[in-house]
């Protein structure tokens, strides 16, 4: 078996995101214009969002804050484990919605954590605001200045109508502000935030060490196997296990990746995680659309990817390898694969 190893990787904020989602739990969340009500609908969509977020940004972290009754409290801390968040979201369905939200308190709570995040990671806040008002203990425009100086980007999704303070807040911090039309539009808007936002020029890049532990399956028959407690599940009462991911630096055991080693602080990831994060940095060029007739004359009748016959009106050509694809494959390549299969094929062949 190969030794687990560590590498030094150049990281920029689009690779490593820190996002706080603020969920409004005020009285107005009981409104039934989203079925069955705004809160339930929001929480359900949030679950999908969390999944999507970690799928696209595997080495990023998320935290959830709720605000009601003029206060803000943390539902979950910044963490990279989707399961924990989703479990908490499921629990939150029974929350009683009372009082007014407080943008100021929520933002304050969020930046208490975010300001300690290193500069090569992004600091983002996404607010889902149902109420039309906010009850703030101090001037929110002062807070806007603080957010701006800390490079925190605030985006808002409004559930009812355009509120002035949100417009200003998002404009000043460089975030986006949208108001939903209905539930499907809500989902669409929420999923926009799955992708990392475009980086500002001021963002720094830096080199950090990352560990790439390999998964080992230990068996009792193996004499070298040493049973160990999973560091990430120390609190839960699961017993020691033989296999898992071992930190290349300190050999702590983890059952899941990605994770930050609790002992030595090394970020542990696997290669595919990194690859999926990287595609935001180097997006695949759009394929060139052209009418199908031209190419049929040249003898291309089949899609490079699915090998199906080109029946649609237009076809798509990869600008680098000149391969031809059908509409479905073009969508699949750009939305999920993030790399041209034909290009990779030719690389490996040569």
Partner 1 sequence: MKLNIEGLLVYFPYDYIYPEQYSYMLELKRTLDAKGHGVLEMPSGTGKTISLLSLIVAYQRVSSAFPLDVTKLIYCSRTVPEIEKVVEELRKLMEFYAKETGERNNFLALALSSRKNLCIHPEVSSLRFGKEVDGKCHSLTASYIRAQRHVNPNQPVCRFYEEFDAVGRQVPLPAGIYNLDDLKDFGRRKGWCPYYLARYAILHANIVVYSYHYLLDPKIADLVSKELAKKSVVVFDEAHNIDNVCIDSMSVNITRRTLDRCQNNVDTLQNTIQKIKETDAAKLREEYRRLVEGLKEANVARETDIYLSNPVLPDEILKEAVPGTIRTAEHFVGFLRRFLEYLKSRLRVHHVVQESAPQFLKDIFDKVCIDRKPLRFCAERLQSLLRTLEIADIADFSAVTLISNFATLVSTYSQGFTIIIEPFEDRTPTIANPVLHFSCMDPSIAIKPVFQRFQSVIITSGTLSPLDIYPRILDFRPVTMASFTMTLNTFNVCLCLVALSSKFETREDFAVIRNYGNLLLEMSAVVPDGIVAFFTSYVYMENIVASWYEQGILENIQRNKLIFIETQDAAETSMALEKYQEACENGRGAILLSVARGKVSEGIDFVHHFGRAVIMFGVPYVYTQSRILKARLEYLRDQFQIRENDFLTFDAMRHAAQCVGRAIRGKTDYGLMIFADKRYARADKRGKLPRWIQEHINDGSLNLTVDETVQLSKHFLRQMAQPFRQEDQLGLSLLTLEQLESEEMLQKITQIAHQT
The answer to whether the CB of 250 falls within 8 A of the CB of 45 is no
What does the per-residue mask of binding to partner 1 show for 179-198, with x meaning CB under 8 A?
A: xxx-----------------
Which of 62, 163, 303, 310 touches partner 1 by CB under 8 A? 163
- Choose which of 73, 162, 222, 289 interacts with partner 1 (CB under 8 A): 162
Q: What is the DSSP letter of 21?
A: E
Binder to partner 1 among 5, 7, 32, 33 (CB under 8 A)?
33
Q: H/E element holding 208?
A: strand 206-212
Nearer to partner 1, 170 or 277 (CB): 170
Q: Answer for the pair 267, 260: CB distance below 8 angstroms, yes or no.
A: yes
Out of 136, 268, 269, 280, which residue is the one contacting partner 1 (CB under 8 A)? 136
- Judged by DSSP in three states, 187 sits in helix
Nearer CB in complex with partner 1: 170/323: 170
Give the residues across from 316 on adjacent strands: 289, 325
Tell me if 164 contacts partner 1 by CB under 8 A: yes
Residues near 144 by beta carbon (within 8 Å), at least 6 away in sequence: 168, 169, 172, 173
Query: How many residues form the binding site for partner 1 (CB under 8 A)?
Result: 26
Question: Are the C-beta atoms of 287 and 330 separated by less than 8 Å?
Answer: yes
Q: Which of 6, 48, 165, 191 binds partner 1 (CB under 8 A)?
A: 165
User: Shortest gap between Cβ of 165 and partner 1 (angstroms)?
Assistant: 3
- Dihedral pair phi/psi, residue 236, rounded to 5°: -75, 150
Q: Is 141 in the site for partner 1 (CB under 8 A)?
A: yes
Q: Using CA atoms, how far apart are residues 286 and 317, in angstroms rounded to an integer? A: 9
In the region spanning residues 42 to 81, those forming contacts with partner 1, defined by CB under 8 A, are none
Contact 29, 37 (CB under 8 A): yes
Q: Note the residues at the interface with partner 1 (CB under 8 A).
A: 27-28, 33, 100, 103, 132-136, 139-141, 158, 160-167, 178-181
């Amino acid at each position: 078996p190969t030794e687990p190893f560590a590498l030094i990787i150049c990281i920029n904020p689009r690779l490593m995101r820190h996002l706080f989602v603020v969920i409004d739990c005020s009285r107005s969340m009981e409104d039934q214009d989203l079925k069955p009500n705004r809160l339930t609908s929001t929480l359900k969509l949030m679950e999908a969002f969390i999944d999507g977020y970690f799928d696209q940004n595997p080495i990023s972290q998320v935290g959830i804050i709720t605000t009601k009754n003029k206060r803000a409290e943390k539902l979950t801390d910044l963490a990279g484990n989707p399961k924990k968040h989703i479990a908490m979201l499921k629990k939150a369905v029974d929350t009683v919605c009372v009082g007014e939200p407080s943008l100021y308190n929520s933002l304050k709570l969020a930046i208490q954590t975010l300001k300690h995040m290193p500069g090569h990671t992004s600091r983002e806040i996404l607010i889902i605001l149902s109420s039309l008002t906010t009850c703030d203990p101090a001037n929110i425009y002062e807070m806007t200045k603080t957010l701006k100086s800390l490079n925190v980007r605030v985006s808002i999704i409004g559930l009812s109508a355009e509120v002035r303070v949100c417009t200003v807040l998002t404009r000043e911090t460089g975030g986006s502000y949208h108001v939903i039309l209905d539930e499907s539009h809500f989902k669409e808007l929420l999923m926009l935030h799955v992708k990392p936002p475009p980086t500002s020029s001021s963002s720094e890049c830096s080199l950090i060490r990352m560990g790439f532990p390999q998964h080992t399956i230990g068996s009792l028959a193996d004499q070298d196997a040493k049973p160990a407690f999973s560091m990430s599940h120390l609190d839960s009462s699961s017993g020691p296990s033989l296999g898992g991911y071992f930190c290349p630096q300190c050999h702590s055991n983890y059952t899941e990746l990605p994770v930050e080693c609790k002992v030595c602080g090394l970020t542990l990831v696997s290669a595919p995680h990194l690859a999926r994060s990287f595609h935001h940095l180097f997006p695949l060029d759009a394929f060139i659309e052209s009418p199908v007739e031209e190419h049929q004359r040249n003898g291309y009748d089949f899609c490079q990817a699915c090998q199906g016959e080109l029946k649609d009106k237009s076809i798509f050509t990869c600008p680098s390898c000149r391969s031809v694809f059908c509409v479905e494959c073009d969508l699949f390549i750009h939305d999920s694969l993030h790399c041209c299969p034909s290009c990779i094929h030719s690389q490996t062949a040569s």
